[in-house]
Every structure is written in structure tokens, then in C-alpha cells.
Amino acid sequence: MDSGTLDFIVGHLNYWLFILLMMTGLYIVVAKGNLVKKIVGLNIFQTSVFMLYISIGKVTGGTAPIFPLDMKVDPDVVYSNPLPHVLILTAIVVGIATTSLGLALIIRIREEYHTIEEDQIAEVENAVLKSEQWASEQAAGEHS
């Protein structure tokens, strides 16, 4: 492996981790049948995006974007870009709201279905669906 490729891999470490986390999160959401685990997966997925944004904001050699007290800005000092960080604060709040709402829904689902496993919920729902079908066939039969 020549040094260029190595630099590319190491230099973009944040982005590789972003992809790794994102795929891990998405996989959990799709593959797991437990409703709480799905929310955890969703959280990992969202966190990966925070990492992407924070990485975007980093300027090589840049320091924290804070004005000196005397407001005399040295033009030679390089600052990191604070905007993506601010954006991601909003996204973090959205993520917390989503998580808490998801968990609240799971509590209600457990109260009604007495389970938080997807396949068991599907069983209950299929039974309801069958009884509905039966009722509508009965009703249709009376009229034919």
C-alpha cells in the first residue's frame, strides 16, 4: 500500500467511522424484532450523522471559534467552522424527542399487546385481521 492510499484512509477516519456507525444503526433497525432495540439502532444511526456534521466543521489547524475578549482578531489564526456544530445541536434535540416519543409508544404498545417483540405483535394483529375478515364475510353472505 503506497503512502497516498494510507493517508486517504487515515485522513478520513471520521468519515469511515461515520459510514460504519450509520450501517450498524440501519442494520439494527431492520434486522432486530425487539422494539426497544430498534430505537437503539435508530439512535446509533442518528448519532453517526452528528459525527458527519462535526467532522465537516473541523478546519485543519483551526482553533475554537471564540472571539478574544478585546475583540482584536488576529488574521493569522485559523478558526474551525462553528455552524455545523450549531446545526447538529438542533438535530440532537430532534433525536432526543424522537427517542422519547418512540419509548413512550413502546410503553403503550406493551400495555395493549403485553409484548414488545415484533413477531408476537404481528400474531396478535393477524388474529384481529382474521376476525374482521370473518365478520365482513358473514355480513356480505347475508346479502348475497
Q: CB 6 → other proteins: shortest distance, Å?
A: 21
Q: CB 61 → other proteins: shortest distance, Å?
A: 18
CB closer to other proteins out of 2 and 142:
142
CA distance 109 to 33: 14
Q: Under the rule (CB under 8 A), what is the footprint of other proteins?
A: 22, 26, 29, 35, 38, 42, 45-46, 49, 52-53, 56, 83-84, 87, 90-91, 94, 97-98, 101-102, 105-106, 108-109, 112-113, 121, 125, 128, 132-133, 135-136, 139-140, 142-143
CA distance 46 to 44: 5
CB closer to other proteins out of 7 and 112:
112
Q: CB 118 → other proteins: shortest distance, Å?
A: 9
CB atoms closer than 10 angstroms to residue 42: 18
Measuring CA to CA, how many Å separate 94 from each of 23, 49, 87?
A: 20, 12, 11
Cβ-contact 107, 83 below 8 angstroms: no
Q: CB 11 → other proteins: shortest distance, Å?
A: 15
- The residues near 7 (Cβ < 8 Å, ≥ 6 apart) are none
